[in-house]
Chains A and B, each alone.
Chain A
Amino acid sequence: MIMTSAVGSSFVYVTYIRSTPEQVWSALTESEFVRQYWLGADVKADWKIGGSWQLVFSDGTTADAGEILEFEPPKRLAIRWRNEFKPEYKAEGWSLCVMELEPVGEATKLTVNHSMERENSKFIRAVSGGWPEILSNLKSLLETGSIAVTGEEP
């Protein structure tokens, strides 16, 4: 198991979704789901340990890229993650994003820990605005079949 260091920048997001871990896992890893809720981005990945991982905007530009470090469906996914489209974020280097899924009663507890071994990371601050929106969207998509906020203009 990968541990993050105490120093640095770190966020932990938790949401409870009325769905099974298998469905939440599909929503995190399947393109047909991801592009519906990930604020206009899509995921392209080779889903295995060591496989490549990318978030791509609808115009084809790469938003973020990295490598899959842990792949344990439907429980744990860890991604070595770097921003690709903003030079000042990219210059900060690699971050680590760990997603954990755990059944709790009739719901699934999804915990996302995004961190970087760098104090006051601008990138971690920037994603800290996006994650709550992405997770709320994911929750409403799985619970009601539609999302609350889109990444694109109406």
Chain B
Amino acid sequence: MSGMNDDIVFRALADANRRQLLDRLHEKNGQTLGELCRGLAMTRQAVTKHLSILESANLVSWKRLGREKLHFINPVPIHEIAERWMNKFEQPRLRALSQLKKNLERNDHD
């Protein structure tokens, strides 16, 4: 399941227009479709389509406020992807550090 989700996230990110939409939400969170379309070289239909791809990858969330639908960037899936590899690199380093600490502390008592 998590592998499948990663594919969806990467596919959603593999498009400059969608990354631009995420950038705009990162700058100002909680925008309506109208606000998001302002100043973009994309039709409203294209923005709607890209937003639905971002939503199905869980990269954009939204909530209703009265009659408006506000869009939010959801950084949780990106964080999970980063963590997946960061930890692999960090674990040996952290183990090495803790081993070093143990060795040094043992030497104190010699």
Distance in Å from the Cβ of A116 to the closest Cβ of chain B? Answer: 12
A51 within 8 A of B: no
B98 touches A154 (CB 8 A): yes
A16 touches B80 (CB 8 A): no
Residues of chain A at interface, number, CB under 8 A: 24
Checking B63, B72, B80 against A136 with a beta-carbon cut-off of 8 angstroms, the contacting residue is B80
A49 within 8 A of B: no
The CA-CA distance from A136 to B80 in the complex, in Å, is 6
Checking B1, B70, B72, B75 against A18 with a beta-carbon cut-off of 8 angstroms, the contacting residue is B1
The CA-CA distance from A113 to B63 in the complex, in Å, is 9
Of A7-15, A25-33, A54-62, A83-91, the stretch lying at the interface with chain B is A7-15
Q: Which residues of B contact A113 (CB under 8 A)?
A: 63
B79 touches A132 (CB 8 A): yes
A136 touches B79 (CB 8 A): yes
Chain B interface helix/strand/loop/mixed:
mixed
Chain A interface helix/strand/loop/mixed:
mixed
Chain B, 44-81, contact with A by CB distance < 8 Å: what is the 0/1 string?
00000000000000100111011010101011101110
Distance in Å from the Cβ of A101 to the closest Cβ of chain B? Answer: 15
B76 touches A13 (CB 8 A): yes
Q: Answer whether A139 and B80 are a contact pair too, CB < 8 Å, given A10-B30, A18-B1, A154-B98.
A: yes
Q: Which residues of A contact B70 (CB under 8 A)?
A: 6, 10
A52 within 8 A of B: no
A14 touches B61 (CB 8 A): yes
Checking A4, A11, A18 against B65 with a beta-carbon cut-off of 8 angstroms, the contacting residue is A4
A12 touches B63 (CB 8 A): yes
Distance in Å from the Cβ of B7 to the closest Cβ of chain A? Answer: 15
Distance in Å from the Cβ of B91 to the closest Cβ of chain A? Answer: 10
6 more A-B residue pairs beyond the given contacts A113-B63, A132-B78, with a C-beta to C-beta distance below 8 A = A6-B65, A6-B68, A13-B74, A15-B58, A15-B76, A154-B98
Q: Using CB atoms and an 8 Å cutoff, list the residues of chain A in contact with chain B.
A: 3-4, 6, 9-16, 18, 111, 113, 128, 131-133, 135-136, 139, 148-149, 154
